[in-house]
Amino acid sequence: MSEGPSSLYPQEVSLTNCDKEPIHILGKIQSHGYLLACDPASYKITYCSENIDQLFNKNVEEILGSQITDLLTNLTAEILKTVDSSEKMSPEQLHINGVSYLLIAHINEGNLVIEIEPFENPRDPFKYQDQLSEVVAKLNSVTDEQKMCDITADLIKDFFDYDRVMIYRFDENWDGIVVSEAREGHLESWLGLRYPASDIPQQARKLFLRQGVRIIADVKSEPVSIQALSGDECDNPIDLSISETRASSPIHIEYLENMNVGATLTAAIISKGNLWGLIACHHYSPKLVNYYQRQSCKFLTQVFSSQLVLSKANVLLQKVNRAAVLRSKLVEKISKDWNIHKGLTKGEATMLDITEATGAAVMLDDRIATVGKTPSEEEICGLVMLLKQGKEDLIVTANLSERHKVSDSLKFYASGVLCLFLSAAKKNALIWFKPEKIETVTWAGNPEKPVAVDENQRISPRKSFDKWSVEQSGKSDPWYDYEIAAAKALKENISEIILEKYEEVKELNILLRNAYEDLETFSYSVAHDLRAPLRGIDGFAQILKEDYFEQLDDFGKSSIETIINSSVKMNQLIDDILEFSKVSQAAVKKDDFSMAQVVQETVDFLHIEQDFPNTKITIDESMPPAYGDRKMVLQLMQNLLTNALKYTEKERDPLIEIGHTVIDQMDYFFVKDNGIGFDQKHERRIFKLFNRLVGDEYAGSGIGLTISQRIVKKHSGEIKVISEAGKGSTFLFNLG
């Protein structure tokens, strides 16, 4: 004969390993109860509590190995045969030696567990039933969560007469907070106090979730050991997970003694299958609540839990419906104007309204639009870069600084972040922000010191539960399920709109490409076909000038000159159109080349020293090499340099600089002149086909800069100009 759980139970349990303590196989029960366990097939008794001899005129050695029918009446034994493994048997009232007891049986892990505990008949069962109905009616009459908690605490205290009743809610870290209480007037209030998760470790929470309600009748009483039949059973401790009389962990008992608590009743508040919190009842002297009363408490807690779930569901439904209406308005705005930035952040309804956030931003196509109180655009870009490093498309946090090192400014506006990336590339995102919420949190004792060390260096639960206030920073209000659901739904709506518009743009792009190809072919054909008649016009005009010029009057001579000059201009225009068409149709053949060498070739080709002797040109020989289509870049440089020469020719000291600079970590080449310049407001216009800002005093067709822009675009680069009228222009470009 030996104690059952010895092989699995750790030799020493302390605060360092209490979260692993196997509290379901402690091998002991509370002193007010008695326990028998037998094989459900043979009814041979394999376990019994050491105090069982107080009920039966047999000692433990005689009981172990005997039949259950040797102890109980035939009727009771027959009832035990009906016990189902799925739930506990309805209690059977017994009278042993003139005392009333309740027999409660269940099957668990292959054992038929029989518990016997004292029972005192209620004085007036009908009055008890009426009181219970009244309690249920009161619970059903309220919908506000806090009022529900307050009423429940009051009702449980009145009904079961404990000194203190607390509604204890768990947070996301399993720390607990007392959200409501009912107590005797002389007791100090614990309302609002927090308790660290270590006070109720995870295995205890699992048992509460499974059992529903549990009592400790006398904290100071010695638990009773369970004895097992000799043999293999000694190495298989009995599982008391759902036992009514299971003893508590010595660590927990010491914890309660430090609080001067004499007895407890605890009921699990379950919401959607999860442990929402506990109804924790404390009494400062021993108190036994019988099985039926415990079941009443369990029933009331279930009513409270149901009301809690229903209330939350109603609130959630209202918010979900409101968010759906707002999303519909947002989608309508976006679909109408095809402007996602404006549709989400401007107007009466915005993306901010579907959550309880204080700020929101949409990042799309390298542009950010914000609404409400948000970080700066630079901070938002930095935040997105941080968040996109992970694998998730959805990031939800109420404590950003816990995950990432962030600035105080970002933490102020965005301690809480809800971010949804719109695609796998993570370039576009919808983001909501909740600000830092600095608050003072009061703990029951110092949460940093949940243990105490005595003079013998023994670690024990903390002895002080004095209020300990801590300022909590870096956190925001939590993100609720409906907010996350609304954000996900909006993302889907946006994705559908983008996909729909993408298909439209794709179709338009095909039509545009076909039209563009037709236009280029047409331009080339027209330009080519104009050559012959233009050549004829110019030829006959030259003949008239050579053979009949002196015979013509002044008007005739002027007309001949006009025809010849117009032919030259027309011929140049045709050349430019053909060149533009060639550039548009040509494929880019990229390779490394020297930009300085390309510039020098351009200078030599244009005969600058002969044709523009007064113009000074400086070339930065340290320009870095370039990567692109050398032939195209040579043409680009010819166009830009020709432009600079043309518009500086009339200056007293014409100067052209060709060099290299770095802007936003990107290499740019530039051609700078001190020519006539132009108003910066025309910077876009000058790159358009046939657009010129000057009259006929300067030659040109208005195509050169358009060709230059086309060459740069074919390299996926950028070309821009900085200019001021009368002070010159600087053309800058990169090759992507």
Q: Which amino acid is at 698?
A: Y
pLDDT value of position 138: 78
Give the residue with greater pLDDT, 609 vs 713. 713
pLDDT value of position 637: 87
pLDDT tens, position by position, 94-121: 888 889 999 999 998 888 999 999 998 7
User: Which of 11-20, 370-379, 595-604 has the weakest average pLDDT?
Assistant: 11-20
pLDDT value of position 17: 47
CATH tag, 586-734: 3.30.565.10
Q: Which of 282-296, 476-490, 570-584 has the highest mean pLDDT?
A: 282-296
Q: Which of 451-455, 469-473, 557-561, 565-569 has the highest mean pLDDT?
A: 557-561
**Residue 633 · residue 711 · CB < 8 Å:** yes
User: Which of 24-28, 145-149, 346-350 has the weakest average pLDDT?
Assistant: 24-28
CB under 8 A, 24+ apart: contacts of 294-299 = 294/213, 294/215, 294/244, 294/265, 295/213, 296/132, 296/159, 297/156, 297/159, 297/160, 297/213, 297/265, 297/267, 298/212, 298/213, 298/267, 299/132
pLDDT value of position 4: 37
Q: What is the pTM of this model?
A: 0.61
Q: Is the pLDDT of residue 2 over 60?
A: no
Q: Residue 579 — pLDDT band, cuts 50, 70, 90?
A: low
Q: Is the pLDDT of residue 9 over 80?
A: no
Please give the DSSP secondary-structure letter assigned to residue 620.
Answer: -
pLDDT value of position 258: 87
As a whole number, mean pLDDT of residues 184-204 equals 87
Instruction: Find out if CATH 3.30.450.20 is the number for domain 2-118.
Output: yes
Residue ranges of the domains in the chain?
2-118, 339-438+473-479, 480-585, 586-734
pLDDT value of position 456: 44
CA 573 to chain centre: 59
Give the residue with greater pLDDT, 458 vs 684. 684
pLDDT value of position 277: 92
pLDDT-above-90 percentage for the chain? 20
pLDDT tens, position by position, 339-353: 888 888 888 889 899
pLDDT value of position 447: 63
User: Which of 87-91, 120-124, 166-170 has the weakest average pLDDT?
Assistant: 120-124
In angstroms, rounded to a whole number, what is the distance separating the alpha carbons of residues 564 and 545?
9
User: Which of 294-308, 444-458, 557-571 has the weakest average pLDDT?
Assistant: 444-458
Give the residue with greater pLDDT, 141 vs 212. 212
As a whole number, mean pLDDT of residues 365-372 equals 89
In CATH terms, are 2-118 and 339-438+473-479 the same topology? yes
CATH tag, 339-438+473-479: 3.30.450.270
In angstroms, rounded to a whole number, what is the distance separating the alpha carbons of residues 87 and 360?
51
3-state class (DSSP) for residue 577: helix
pLDDT value of position 235: 66
pLDDT value of position 525: 62
pLDDT tens, position by position, 614-652: 888 888 888 899 898 888 888 888 888 888 888 888 888
**Residue 49 · residue 225 · CB < 8 Å:** yes
pLDDT tens, position by position, 498-551: 666 656 666 766 776 666 565 556 555 655 566 666 666 767 677 777 777 777
pLDDT tens, position by position, 75-86: 777 788 888 776
pLDDT value of position 216: 94
How many Å from the N-terminal Cα to the C-terminal Cα in the chain? 85
Looking only at the bridges linking them, the beta strands covering 655-663 and 616-619 are: parallel
Q: Residue 11 — pLDDT band, cuts 50, 70, 90?
A: very low
Q: Residue 265 — pLDDT band, cuts 50, 70, 90?
A: very high
Q: Which fold has domain 480-585?
A: Helix Hairpins (1.10.287)
pLDDT value of position 699: 62
As a whole number, mean pLDDT of residues 402-427 equals 84
Q: Is the pLDDT of residue 165 over 90?
A: yes
CB atoms < 10 A from the CB of 669, how many? 26
Q: Please provide the DSSP assignment of 50-94 as one string.
A: GGGGGTSSS-HHHHTTSBGGGTS-HHHHHHHTT--TTSPPPPEEE
**Residue 9 · residue 192 · CB < 8 Å:** no
The alpha-carbon radius of gyration of the chain (Å, integer) is 44
Which of 303, 299, 301 has its CA nearest to residue 165? 301
Looking only at the bridges linking them, the beta strands covering 164-170 and 176-183 are: antiparallel
| Mean confidence (pLDDT) of the chain | 81
- Six token digits for residue 518: 């037709």
